[in-house]
Amino acid sequence: MIALASDFLLFQLANGESHPFSAEMISVELIGDAIDLFDTEFVRHASQAVFHYFKHDLDRKTVTVGEFAGALEKVLRGFALTAKAAAKEVGSPQCVDWDLSRLACESGKGCELFFFPRLKEELQRQLREKPRVLRFRGLNRCVKQLIGARRWSAKCEDLKQEILNYLRYCFSAQPSSSAGVSMVVVSGDQA
């Protein structure tokens, strides 16, 4: 039997067949009212988050298509309720965008010592603007800049997790500022 790559899950189809997929290989199409609520990029990231949940949080190797679809539907339904409520309050949700690779560049190559305090400072500054959505993008590029790597490695993955954990910690340490705010961290170069 061939071993499954570390970034793949086996998806079990209704007919009993199983196929390996990575988070990037999953394609989700919305129909009905959901089309108006979410753009394709958002759905792609939600899908990747659900994949991460099954793969890393639940430590699953296999998932049925039904389980995956149900979990994704639950996530999107929660965001749909938030999106509808926000639209009623302010017309449209405000999204504040910040490029992590820019922050890494300002910190200098290999200067994690300067990067983390600047990241906390930037998060606090962005939260003072009271956005609905706070989006940090370019995490993978940022990690490679800080490490000085050309290719993704285990060291890159460790730093990526460290940055995500630090962002979560700083975000949750600001309960009054972060109330009603959704934080999204985009790993890839898109968006």
Q: What is the pLDDT of residue 82?
A: 60
Within 10 angstroms of residue 115's Cβ, the number of other Cβ atoms is: 22
CA angle 167, 168, 174 (to 5 degrees): 90
Same structural domain, 154 and 115: yes
Boundary-marking domain end, from 90, 109, 132: 90
111 three-class SS: coil
Same structural domain, 129 and 71: no
Query: Per residue in 35-76, pLDDT tens?
Result: 566 777 787 888 888 888 898 888 898 998 888 888 888 887
Contact 183, 169 (CB under 8 A): no
Query: Per residue in 125-155, pLDDT tens?
Result: 888 877 778 888 888 888 888 888 889 899 9
Residues in the chain: 191
Query: Per residue in 78-102, pLDDT tens?
Result: 776 565 555 554 433 477 778 888 8
Q: What is the pLDDT of residue 93?
A: 44
Q: What is the pLDDT of residue 21?
A: 83
Query: Per residue in 103-121, pLDDT tens?
Result: 888 776 656 778 888 889 8
Which of 95, 185, 182 is CA-nearest to residue 139? 185
Q: Is residue 3 part of a domain?
A: no
Q: Is residue 37 part of a domain?
A: yes
Tokens 């490029």: give the residue.
Answer: 99
Q: Is residue 141 part of a domain?
A: yes
- Which residue has better confidence, 170 or 113? 170
Same structural domain, 121 and 67: no
